[in-house]
Amino acid sequence: MVTMLATLDISKAIGEDGEQITPDVELTPGLTRSDDSHYIFIDEYGVHNANLNSFSHPTHFPCVMKPRSRLARELVEDTM
């Protein structure tokens, strides 16, 4: 993850109409941090006590990832 953030420019995808696509922010069910830094479990039924077996992450969304340089491209390719 750190290599990707350091070597890639990540931006919004462009739709068929030529406009940027702003993704809806959605998280998968799982453990996440609340605003007061406590861990909580969120699913389609609401908020529950923390479940340390599953971490929440963003759902898939369209984006564009481009290497920042030739060297950055080589670094990313070497990790794949």
Q: Are residues 34 and 49 in the same domain?
A: yes
Asked if pLDDT for residue 5 goes beyond 80, the answer is yes
Q: Are residues 53 and 76 in the same domain?
A: no
* pLDDT tens digit sequence for 8-43: 899 999 999 999 999 888 877 665 555 555 566 666
Q: Are residues 33 and 47 in the same domain?
A: yes
Q: Are residues 2 and 28 in the same domain?
A: no
Residue 50 · residue 32 · CB < 8 Å: no
CA dihedral 44, 49, 55, 56 (to 10 degrees): 30
Domain with 40, as residue range(s), is 24-60
Mean pLDDT computed over every residue of the chain = 77
Q: Are residues 32 and 51 in the same domain?
A: yes
Q: Are residues 72 and 51 in the same domain?
A: no
- pLDDT the model gives residue 38: 58
- pLDDT the model gives residue 11: 94
Give the count of domains, the chain.
Answer: 2
